[in-house]
Amino acid sequence: MAALTFETREALLRLEQSGNEDGAPVITLKLGLSTSPTVYLSNGKLLQNAKWTMVVRGRAPGADDAQRAAGSLSYAETGNNGECLVQIEEKASRFADLLAMFKGGHASEITLVIEGLQQRDDYSSQWDTQGTPTLAVLNVGFEFPLPQSEA
């Protein structure tokens, strides 16, 4: 397991509609990777240089939550550095809380715990993006600054 920490560069709320049916709101974040172990990709590039996007959706009420990963992390070879897409599904109540928090400000830090990297002898990690282009996100944490009262 490895922990990746991000800063939010941009946060967008997307509302979709298909025909007469309203779609669920989706939070889309552009991220900058701030701290992580050194991770090499199959192509020899560094994970740290990839372009990062996170999409957070609310899970339908009553969906089975047992033994479920928080989401997935996938890599696609594009341009010079590639792109990483993090897809997260949250319980409806937690999604509503996240949406309210994002409306009030930005997340100061987002942390992902992922599984599937191989440890190398030099204490770095390797992601076999050719054989395993998608990794499980076991845990996601959002940190928001709280307003401080004036004393």
Question: Tens digit of pLDDT for each residue in 101-113?
Answer: 888 877 889 999 9
**Mean per-residue pLDDT, 57-66:** 70
CA trace torsion 36, 8, 73, 4 (10° rounding)? 20
Structure confidence by residue, pLDDT tens digits, 115-130: 998 988 888 889 999 9
Q: Give the pTM.
A: 0.85
- Cα–Cα dist 112/115, whole Å: 10
Do residues 85 and 103 lie in contact, with contact meaning Cβ atoms separated by under 8 Å?
no
Domains held by the chain: number: 1
Residue 148 covered by a domain: no
Residue 150 covered by a domain: no
Residue 38 covered by a domain: yes
Residue-number span of the structural domain to which 102 is assigned? 2-143
Residue 118 covered by a domain: yes
Amino acid at 65: D
- Predicted confidence band at 35 (pLDDT cuts at 50, 70, 90)? confident
